[in-house]
């Protein structure tokens, strides 16, 4: 069986030639050092897998996922999805297929609209269901993420952090993605709420057969939710192993350190 996602020798660079620096005294000489955020990464993910991506802050996890989403262009290498090469320009169906949930749902939900409006608009714009089915689908989506129906009438600002994250997940699921990326999706939540969102992700994995990519600092999350793990450091994959093996027999000192470290909150960039 071929992999759903194949990343081959992907490299993402930032900076080095930003236009504004050419306006500074010294002209082109004032350029910044380029950052190689993702450095020759190869990775394949099979359909239905749950892959944990771990590594210290700044190791390139989010950038790799942004590249997969088409939000960060590759300087080298290739990303294939379902056998097809993906650039940053994608058709709507491909964009729908890969959805991402972020650490701070508050910044990605429109504060001026109620939750029902946010979901209904998305369903409408993408033509996910017939117009007369939109209301019922909004209710189904809220139900899928275990939110009460009356949340539809509230705005994001009137919800708790955990509820907002559930709305963000519902919004991603509205597009019936094949891949769901959770980028530190539970990091900003308190421990009990974290556990309930984790339960939700685990449940969705069963009920929707979505392929899950979990970026996290929290190795307990990986142990609970994922079947394989890659460890990133300085833009590279330094270790790749089934979860059980990673915990029982880490192959690098870096992974041993990660396993020993107390989970801490990642500060959003
Ligand atoms: N938009 C950007 N512009 C410049 N540098 C960036 C940008 N996004 C990320 N970086 C840099 O790329 C590296 C990897 O960052 P990131 O992918 O966010 O790491 P992680 O998600 O593992 O914390 C870091 O050095 C970061 O500063
Ligand atoms: Mg990140």
State the CATH number of the domain containing residue 133. 3.40.50.300
Beta partners for residue 236, in sequence order: 233
pLDDT (0 to 100) of residue 110: 92
- C-alpha closest to that of 178 among 10, 46, 44, 2: 46
Neighbouring C-alpha atoms within 13 Å toward the C-beta of 202: 13
Q: Is residue 266 part of a domain?
A: no
pLDDT (0 to 100) of residue 167: 95
pLDDT (0 to 100) of residue 138: 98
Q: Is residue 117 part of a domain?
A: yes
Tokens of 166: 């559930």
Residue 61 Cβ contacting ligand 1 at under 6 Å: yes
Q: Is residue 94 part of a domain?
A: yes
Q: How far is the CA of 117 from the centre of ligand 1 (A)?
A: 33
Which residue's alpha carbon is nearest to atom 8 within ligand 1?
63
- In ligand 1, the atom with minimum distance to the C-alpha of 64 is 17
Q: Domain range holding 156?
A: 5-260
Weakly modelled stretches of the chain, pLDDT under 50: 29-30, 264-265
CA angle 44, 49, 51 (to 5 degrees): 70
- Do residues 179 and 51 lie in contact, with contact meaning Cβ atoms separated by under 8 Å? no
Q: Is residue 268 part of a domain?
A: no
Q: Which residues contact 158 (CB under 8 A, 6 or more apart)?
A: none
pLDDT (0 to 100) of residue 170: 95
- In ligand 1, the atom with minimum distance to the C-alpha of 184 is 21
Q: Is residue 265 part of a domain?
A: no
pLDDT (0 to 100) of residue 27: 54
Residue 36 Cβ contacting ligand 1 at under 6 Å: no
Beta partners for residue 14, in sequence order: 35
In total, how many domains does the chain have?
1
- Do residues 174 and 99 lie in contact, with contact meaning Cβ atoms separated by under 8 Å? no
pLDDT (0 to 100) of residue 31: 54
């Amino acid at each position: 069986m071929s992999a759903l996602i194949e990343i081959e020798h992907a490299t993402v660079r930032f900076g080095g030639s930003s236009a504004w620096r050419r306006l500074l005294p010294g002209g082109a000489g004032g350029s910044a050092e380029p950052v190689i955020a993702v450095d020759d990464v190869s990775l394949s993910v099979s359909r239905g897998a749950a892959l944990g991506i771990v590594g210290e802050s700044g190791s390139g996890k989010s950038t790799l996922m942004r590249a997969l989403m088409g939000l960060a262009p590759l300087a080298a290498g290739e990303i294939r999805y379902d056998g097809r090469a993906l650039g940053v320009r994608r058709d709507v169906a491909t964009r729908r297929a890969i959805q991402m949930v972020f650490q701070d749902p508050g910044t990605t939900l429109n504060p001026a609209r109620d939750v029902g409006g946010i979901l209904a608009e998305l369903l409408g714009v993408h033509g996910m269901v017939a117009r007369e089915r939109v209301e019922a689908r909004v209710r189904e989506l809220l139900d899928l993420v275990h939110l009460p129906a009356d949340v539809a009438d509230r705005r994001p600002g009137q919800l708790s952090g955990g509820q907002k994250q559930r709305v963000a997940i519902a919004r991603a699921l509205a597009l019936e993605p094949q891949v769901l990326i959770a980028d530190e999706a539970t990091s900003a939540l308190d421990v009990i709420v974290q556990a309930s969102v984790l339960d939700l992700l685990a449940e969705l994995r069963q009920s929707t057969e979505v392929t899950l990519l979990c970026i996290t600092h929290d190795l307990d999350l990986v142990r609970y939710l994922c079947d394989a793990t890659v460890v990133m450091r300085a833009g590279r994959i330094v270790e790749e192993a089934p979860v059980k093996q990673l915990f029982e027999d880490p192959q690098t000192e870096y992974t041993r350190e990660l396993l020993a470290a107390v989970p801490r909150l990642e500060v959003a960039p």
